[in-house]
Amino acid sequence: VQSGPPSPRALTMRRLWVLASLLGAASAFVALQPSSSSRLSPLYANNPGAKKRIKTNERNRVRNAAWRSRVRTWTRKTSLAIEKGDVDQAKECARVATSMIDRATRRKIYHKNWAARHKSRLSKKVIALILKQRAEEAGPNADNVETSPPAAA
């Protein structure tokens, strides 16, 4: 049984308890958003080397994503040029796409076999378009039109 006003310590404790309960209730309505720049915070790492690897991996992931995006963009541009039937644009886009694939492969973003396979598919499509255009220019009764890809010099 208390006979007088509450002590300052009791008031402080009561205020802290009310504040903590209000914050706890409010946090139920707040959605926590993970950081968009980092998948895993260095806080989860237990030693300095692991923290450094997390930072390095994140930096490389962003850099590799940029290179993959460039390769996909130029591959898509080449495919669109082939669909339109524009030989000159298809040749140029294929040249740039091949260069992008080679550069990304040198940076270990793609495996060398993946790069070779995709460059080969692109060049086959462009060569087929070139041969189709030659056949159309020669006309329907031209027998001497070269229908196979040009031989390597």
Cβ-contact 101, 119 below 8 angstroms: yes
The DSSP result for 64-131, as a single string, is HHHHHHHHHHHHHHHHHHHHHT-HHHHHHHHHHHHHHHHHHHHTTSS-HHHHHHHHHHHHHHHHHHHH
Cα distance between residue 134 and residue 146, in whole Å: 8
pLDDT tens digits, 66-99: 999 999 999 999 999 999 999 999 999 999 999 9
Share of the chain above pLDDT 90, in %: 58
- Token reading at 98: 């091949």
Cα distance between residue 122 and residue 111, in whole Å: 17
Mean pLDDT score of the chain, rounded to an integer? Answer: 86
Does this model's pTM top 0.75?
A: no
Cα distance between residue 128 and residue 94, in whole Å: 13
- Give me Rg for the CA atoms of the chain: 32
3-state helix, strand, coil split of the chain in percent (to 5) is 70, 0, 30
Q: Look at residue 32 in the predicted model and tell me its pLDDT.
A: 56
Q: Look at residue 59 in the predicted model and tell me its pLDDT.
A: 95
Cα distance between residue 101 and residue 114, in whole Å: 9
pLDDT tens digits, 26-37: 777 766 555 555
